[in-house]
Amino acid sequence: MWPGGKPSRIRSTNADDPSRKPARDVKNGKRKLKRVPGRAATRYYDVVAIGASAGGLNALTELLRPISGDFPAILVVQHLDPTHESHMAELLSRRTRIHVKQAEHGEAILPGSVYIAPPDEHLLVGPGTVQLAHSQLVHFSRPSIDLMFESVAGMYGSRSIGVILSGSNRDGSVGIRTIKEAGGTTIAQEPATAHFATMPQAAISTGCVDFVVPIGEIGNLLRDLCAGKRQRHE
């Protein structure tokens, strides 16, 4: 729990955590960077998981605007009407520079892509792949932000970031704690900048949020975290 129950706005990575360092190799007595196929040697995180509900489209647009293709994979659960086809991926593609698509079961999770949960399907992760599940509702929701966060925490641990945006329910407040406990980094939209403040406020109230940030600053914060330019205090 943070002192006074308030989340820190600046949190630095533990420099001794080997999971935060690029892979290395030793040759002729000298240490050199070892390139890992499909992953930049200096990448600090593998996945950014984002949960949004009411007011989420505008928030996601703002968040993704400064992000380009040289970025970890992004997974998004946005609560949607289960009876209608979703155009979320198409709308975000028009407004951002990064590749956005609706997630498909079994497809590879690749850097530089945004995967949107389809309506009425839970978005989970397997070893490097998307897993969709039509299991029971969680807190009256399918897809569930909590389930996505818990799945990401279990698979990626300290190399994951969880983000809670605008919404009118408490989905994500359990999962954000799971990401935090797994060593990941957690972010909530500043409630004053959210169209619906209930969801980010519920996440903040857990005491497990590292950064509380206005929506217009989250995208740049994510870029800095993933490039190692911004750190978190343990």
Do the bridges between strand 130-133 and strand 122-125 make them parallel or antiparallel, or are there none, so unpaired?
Answer: antiparallel
Per-residue pLDDT of the chain (234 residues; tens, 9 = 90+): 444 444 444 333 343 344 443 333 333 333 333 333 444 446 799 999 999 999 999 999 999 999 988 899 999 999 887 777 888 899 999 889 899 999 999 999 999 999 999 999 999 999 999 999 988 887 778 899 999 999 999 999 999 999 999 999 999 999 999 999 999 999 999 999 999 999 999 999 999 999 999 999 999 999 999 999 987 754
**Position 99 in a domain:** yes
Q: Do the domain assignments include residue 38?
A: no
Query: Of these residues, 146, 158, 166, 171, which one is catalytic?
Result: 171
The answer to whether position 30 is within a domain reads: no
Placement of tokens 């945006």 in the chain: 165
Comparing C-alpha atoms, which of 110, 116, 29, 28 is closest to residue 77? Answer: 116
Query: Is 122 assigned a catalytic role?
Result: no
* Contact of 57 with 196, CB cutoff 8 Å: no
Pairing type for strands 160-164 and 122-125 reads unpaired
Q: Is residue 23 part of a domain?
A: no
Q: Choosing from 53, 113, 158, 166, which is the catalytic residue?
A: 53
Number of domains in the chain: 1
Using alpha carbons, select from 112, 138, 111 the residue that is nearest to residue 123: 138
Q: Could you tell me the two tokens for 170? A: 């408490």
What pLDDT is recorded for position 40?
Answer: 41
What integer pLDDT is reported at residue 5 of this predicted model? 46
**Tokens, residue 213:** 């940030």
Q: How far apart are CA 39 and CA 34, in angstroms?
A: 11
Model pLDDT, residue 100: 96
> Omega before 143 cis (within 30°)?
yes
Q: For residue 93, give its domain range.
A: 49-226
Point out which residues pair with 78 in neighbouring strands.
52
What does the pLDDT read at residue 234? Answer: 44
Give me the CATH number covering residue 172: 3.40.50.180
Instruction: Tell whether 63 is covered by a domain.
Output: yes
> Is 99 a known active-site residue?
no
Asked whether the beta carbons of 139 and 170 are under 8 A apart, the reply is yes
For residue 204, being part of any structural domain is answered with yes
Active-site residue flag, 79: yes
Active-site entry in 79, 144, 151, 158: 79
* Residue 135 belongs to some domain of the structure: yes
Look at residue 9 in the predicted model and tell me its pLDDT: 47
Rounded Cα distance between 192 and 165, Å, is: 11
Residue 210 lies in a domain: yes
